Structure 1
Amino acid sequence: MTLSPRSRANAVRLLALLLVVSLLAPAGVSALTYDPSTDTSLEPGTITSPANGSTVISVQGYTFQGNTNPKKPARLLSVGPRGDLQWTHNDSVGGSAWFFDVDPLPNGNLLVSSPRAGDTVVFELNPETQERVWQERFNMTDTHDVAYLGDDRIAIANMREWNASAEVSDDRIVIYNRSTGEFTWEWYFKNHFPESTDGGYNDDWSHVNDVDPVGEDRLLLSPRNFDQAIVVDIESKEIVERLGSDDDYDVMREQHNPDWLLSENGTPTILVADSGNNRVVEYAKEDGEWVRTWEVGTGSLTWPRDADRLPNGNTLVTDTLNHRVMELTPTGEVVWEYYATWGPYDAERIGTGPESSGPTIRDLNASGSYDITGSANLTAGGNESVGFAGRIRATFAGTALEGPMNEFATRWAHVTPWLRPVWMSGWDFVWAISALLVGLVWAGGELIAGRQQIVAGIRRLADR
């Protein structure tokens, strides 16, 4: 039996509808069976050795257009040595907040960077009273890091200072004096990097996410989008050290929070969360060249954004998209772990200073590449986006499309966990996106068919 054109069109419509419904079915089942009480929120994971003090964690949360997703809250929290939750600080004063850098101050209080409503609020928090000792509000968008320099001076990583009228990036580092209310020093990336860096000026050109003092007269900076860490001399404003280069992903890719260490023999060393490569790495400078001495976590970390070497030789790692903070031995064993949804950014072990304060990997005789072992792996679906990304990489490995598909896979793994609803698994999200694409193709076909029918009808009228 031969089907008429209308019957064939109706059959195609039915098949398209069934395909869309089938692709959406897993997400629908997840929505109907979702139980918020089963969410991993704030809880300990593996703890085989109590921490040597409290750990303060900043949780970025997810805010879009000024509205915080209640299932992805931003907050600060403190966790005791055995994984007991000591306090949480949920702060929405002056608009929905993000939380990024948190640093312990010499007086025991915390220095916090919290963007909100297009500005950045920097404040000193008394953890005992949960009250602000002081606050400053800056007309700066999305500031990730500030650092206390002493004498009421604060270094600020002004990461998105876009000059729209001139179409020029004015991303900069500034030093602000709270006593005088003035900016006393500033340093612009455009004066030290060619415009072509990272493809040219844009409104998120450098994405400088870290500024740390190195001694009294230097600053360690992390221009994330330039794939490098640099040391700037405050007086001369020259770049005096550089690890990595733009798009050299073998060294680093879109890193966060590098820390400067010196080995026992004075060898310069940088420990860094190599976010885009989903690992933590350490480099030592030998004969004028940076040499990788340590690598941990490839295949199990997902967008790590902080790593601090502790005095005991372990490393405190903030594994953002697995929503956990881990203390790792030099060989990658988890000895302390805490899950802090949604999207922890920074973690500090109280009593050890605001950055790394321990030995280098070489001083520990532990150079090498290590997997992470011993994690409780409590994050439901935490690695599903990475699993899909891994499937993409494996499928196109060795083909002409390997490069672009690897880039797609990396972006998928890093972006989609923020976008998908909490009740939807990573694979549910894949099928839902597929359903949307099928629906768009179907709708496009219907529009074309409808237009053709209209044109044919007009022609028939014209021929009468």
Structure 2
Amino acid sequence: MNVASALSALRSRRTRVVAYGAVVFVLALALSFQAATAGGTASTTSDDGRWTATPPGDVEATATDPGDGESDGGESSVATRNRSGVLVTVQSYGGFGENNGRAVLVRDGDVVWSFAPEDSRVFDAEFLENGNVLVSYATHLPASECPERTLEHKPDRCVKNNVVELEYDSKDVVWSYRWYDAFINHHEVHDADRLATGETAIADMGNDRAFVVNESGDVVWEWSAREHIGPGSEFWETYGGPDEPRPESDWTHMNDIDRLENGTFGLSIRNFDVLLEVNRSTKDIERVIGEPRNSGKDVAGRDPILDDQHNPMWVADDHVVVADSEADRIVEVDASANEVVWTYDDDLLWPRDADRLPNGNTLVTNSLRYEVVEVTPDGEVVWSYQVAWNGKRGIPYEADRVSLPEEPDGMPAQGATDEPTGSPTGTAAPSGTGEPTATGEPTGSPTATETPTDAATGSGGEGSTPGDADDGDGESGEGDSDENESGDGGLLDRLGGYAFLYLPFWVGTVEMAMLAVIGAVGVAAVVDVLAFAVGRLRTRIAG
């Protein structure tokens, strides 16, 4: 049958119905096969052994009791003591509105340790010198479990922020600091760092402040964004800033705090597009990195250095590596010159963490691609990990390469690896997006971000563990959190990223195309039936 005769045959409605059915049947059969075989175990190793590609599936295959965050006393957690891995925090699985996050330690593509607090979103985790794990997470609570003062804005819910130190094997909480806030979206604690003094520095996004608590839970230092960068401040008079439309409206989105080598605190103020260096003693701003946003979302003539950034990492030569999230790229900024000297932007979609590794590579948390990747200075992907659990994609927030010592009381080295050159241990896959994209020359290994200091000075604050944060006033809608951004990846890319999140993990680009064809055929069939019905109706009326 030639093309002309085939087209002629399609003029018959019966033939078209058969064609519609055949297309849908074949594609549905192919999708069913994909779903049935998604959990396969076959793997492929590259000729040089640098990476291994393993079919994606439920990453919890070898985890220790992944469901409730409690250890079952198995041997797998102990076995990780002398192995390197990647510590990943997952905000949630299967949707931004879900409260099912966890922290996972990944080795050879398997989760060998996990902590999954109930009804929570997990953002930050780090190994401590004593082998314990410091985890920061936000727990969604019903009104019956909330302090009355937190229910002014959302009378049926609130959030409890938690910074906890866990014993690695038992996951018992050995120290904690907790506080309540109005609701979970953009009120989640995103970062906490243990200082050499034993104190803990915390970025409190919901209250636009950074603070330090001692081991007894007393607030010994506090820095308020409203006081230091809000209207009336020297910063505001110089740069301006975004307006705060209402209380509890995510004004600053302060998402990171680091103790820098020079003794200052580094703060990431996402909604101002800047990093700040703050003197601990005076609380003065000593340096501004980036070009501050002075009003609204886009300012005419403004070419921002940073755009809704996350998780800066200070490295050698006064440089800082930053996940430039809204621009869908990773940048290394020369802080002294306030200019970008290296960029990686290959197939990134809302990246939220980037760590410079000792081997010169960069570990990238690619949040809306639901993966963690390691890239060389030239932009070549040498390792990747797809984040998923129970058939659902997960939204990773940050990832740290760690090397655990043989002795339980030894110091885990974050950013270190047993393989100082080449690809790290793990489930890996090469990039499927063509030639790597990277510009500039990155610097080498990171510098220390922690030095011992004298006793802290500053204002008193929340007095005990757990603590209670102040919760602002006025009216507010809960709104959305990080999920409603639209970076340079384009609207279709962003919508595609969201779509994949809510679909089963085995659905990829090809499967999405199949579903689109099935949808198009369905629309064509409906139009055909409607046209037939209208024709019959006209015939009856005319007759």
TM-score, L = length of structure 1: 0.63
Offset of 1:212 from its aligned partner? 0.8
Deviation at 1:410, TM superposition (A): 7.1
Contact 2:319 2:334 in 1 (8 A): yes
Partner of 1:207: 253
Residues 1:422 and 1:336: Cα distance change in structure 2 (over 3 Å): closer
CA contact (8 A) 2:401 2:415 kept: no
Identify the range of structure 1 (127-136 vs 277-286) with the bigger mean alpha-carbon deviation: 127-136
* Aligned 8 A contact 1:58 1:75 in 2: yes
State the secondary structure of the residue aligned to 2:271: helix
CA contact (8 A) 1:99 1:115 kept: yes
Please report how far the alpha carbon of residue 338 of structure 1 lies from its aligned counterpart in structure 2 after TM superposition: 2.1
Whole-angstrom CA distance in 2 between matches of 1:45 and 1:325 = 19
- Residue matched to 1:350: 402
Measure, in 2, the Cα distance between the counterparts of 1:122 and 1:306. Answer: 19
Q: Which residue of 2 aligns with 1:339?
A: 386
Cα displacement (A) at 1:309: 1.2
Cα distance change, pair 262–406 in 1 and its aligned pair in 2 (3 A):
closer
**Residue of structure 1 in register with 2:330 after alignment:** 280
Cα displacement (A) at 1:135: 2.7
Where do residues 243-392 of structure 1 align in structure 2 (5 Å cutoff)? 243-245=289-291, 246=293, 247=298, 248=302, 250-263=304-317, 268-286=318-336, 289-296=337-344, 298-341=345-388, 342-351=394-403, 376=429
Question: Does 2:103 align with 1:76?
Answer: yes
Could you say which residue in structure 2 is the equivalent of 1:366? none
Q: What amino acid does structure 2 have at the position aligned with 1:277?
A: A
5 Å-filtered alignment, 1:62-73, equals 62=93, 68=99
Q: Structure 1 residues 34 and 217, CA, compared in 2 at 3 Å: closer, same or farther?
A: same
**Structure 1 SS opposite 2:92:** coil
1:339-371 Cα shifts (integer Å, max 9, x gaps): 22211211112249787689xxxxxxxxxxxxx
**Cα separation, 1, equivalents of 2:497 and 2:315:** 29
**Partner deviation per Cα, 1:185-233 (whole Å, 9 max, x = no partner):** 2112122144862343441111111111113631111111222222111
1:385 alignment partner in structure 2: none
Aligned equivalents of 2:429 and 2:86: distance in 1? 18
Q: 1:102 aligns to what?
A: 125
**What residue in structure 2 maps to residue 126 of structure 1?**
167
Deviation at 1:126, TM superposition (A): 2.5
Q: Which residue of 1 aligns with 2:452?
A: none
1:82-161 matches, within 5 Å, as: 83-85=108-110, 87-92=112-117, 95-117=118-140, 118-140=159-181, 141-159=187-205, 161=206
One-letter code aligned to 1:220: G
Q: Identify the residue that residue 56 of structure 1 maps to in structure 2.
A: 87
**Residue matched to 2:526:** none
Q: Any stretches of 5+ residues in structure 1 without a counterpart? A: 1-23, 162-169, 359-373, 383-402, 439-464
Counterpart check, 1:188 vs 2:213 = no
- Residue 208 of structure 2 is aligned with which of 154, 160, 171? 171
Write the deviation string for residues 256-307 of structure 1: whole angstroms up to 9, x where unpaired.
10011232xxxx1111111112211101145xx22221111x2412221111
Rounded Cα–Cα distance in structure 1 between residues aligned with 2:88 and 2:329: 19
Question: Structure 1 198/86 Cα, relative in aligned 2: closer, same or farther at 3 Å?
Answer: same
Task: Kindly indicate whether the alpha-carbon contact (under 8 Å) linking 2:264 and 2:277 is maintained by their aligned counterparts in 1.
Answer: yes
SS at 1:321's partner residue?
Answer: helix
Once residues 329 and 430 of structure 1 are traced to their aligned partners in structure 2, the CA distance between those partners, rounded to angstroms, is: 36
Look up the match of 1:233: 279
String of CA shifts for 1:41-89, please: whole Å, max 9, x gaps.
9x99987179982221112214879854xxxx52222223xx2525132
Residues 301 and 206 from structure 1, CA distance in 2 versus in 1: closer, same or farther, beyond 3 angstroms?
same
- 1:383-432 per-residue CA deviation (whole Å, 9 max, x = no partner) reads xxxxxxxxxxxxxxxxxxxx999875576466555456667667579969
Structure number with higher relative contact order (C-alpha < 8 Å, ≥ 6 residues apart): 2
The answer to whether the 8 Å contact 2:349/2:489 transfers is no
Give how far 1:100 is off: 0.8
Contact residue 259 and residue 355 of structure 1 kept, 8 A: no
Alpha-carbon shift at residue 137 of structure 1 (Å): 2.0
Report the Cα offset of residue 239 of structure 1: 1.6
Q: Secondary structure at the match of 1:326?
A: strand
Is the Cα–Cα contact under 8 Å of residues 326 and 337 in structure 1 kept in the other structure? yes
**CA deviation after TM superposition for structure 1 residue 133, in Å:** 2.5
Provide closer, same or farther for how the CA distance between residues 240 and 376 of structure 1 changes in structure 2, counting only shifts above 3 A.
same
- Residue-by-residue CA offset, 1:134-192 (whole Å, 9 max, x unaligned): 33322243111111113331111111x3xxxxxxxx4111111232x221221121221
In structure 2, relative to structure 1, the CA distance for the partners of 1:28 and 1:142 (3 Å cut) is farther
Letter of the 1:154 partner, please give it: T
1 CA distance for matches of 2:225 and 2:494?
25
> Where do residues 404-415 of structure 1 align in structure 2 (5 Å cutoff)?
408=491, 412=495, 415=498
For residue 5 of structure 1, what is the aligned residue in structure 2? none
CA distance in 2, matches of 1:44, 1:104: 32
Distance 1:285 1:108, change over 3 A: same
Q: AA paired with 2:116?
A: D
Which residue of 193, 197, 208 maps to 2:241? 197
The one-letter code of the counterpart of 1:347 is A
One-letter amino acid matched to 2:177:
E
Q: Which amino acid aligns with 1:295?
A: T
The one-letter amino acid paired with 1:262 is A
CA 1:272–1:186: 2 relative to 1, 3 Å = same
Residue identity (%): 30
Change (3 A) 1:54 1:299: closer
The amino acid of 1:38's aligned partner reads A
Q: Which moved more, 1:122-131 or 1:409-418?
A: 409-418
Shift of 1:110: 1.3
Q: Show structure 2 runs of 5+ residues with no match.
A: 1-23, 53-81, 141-158, 182-186, 389-393, 404-410, 418-426, 434-485, 524-543
CA–CA separation in structure 2 for the residues paired with 1:66 and 1:406: 22
Residue 242 (structure 1) aligns with? 288
Distance 2:314 2:341 in 1: 14
1:100–1:113: 8 Å Cα contact kept in structure 2? yes
**Quick one: structure 1 residues 173 and 416, their matched pair in 2 at CA, closer, same or farther if it must change by over 3 Å?**
farther
1:259–1:353 Cα change, 3 Å: farther
- For residues 29 and 250 of structure 2, the distance between their equivalents in structure 1, rounded to whole angstroms, comes to 39
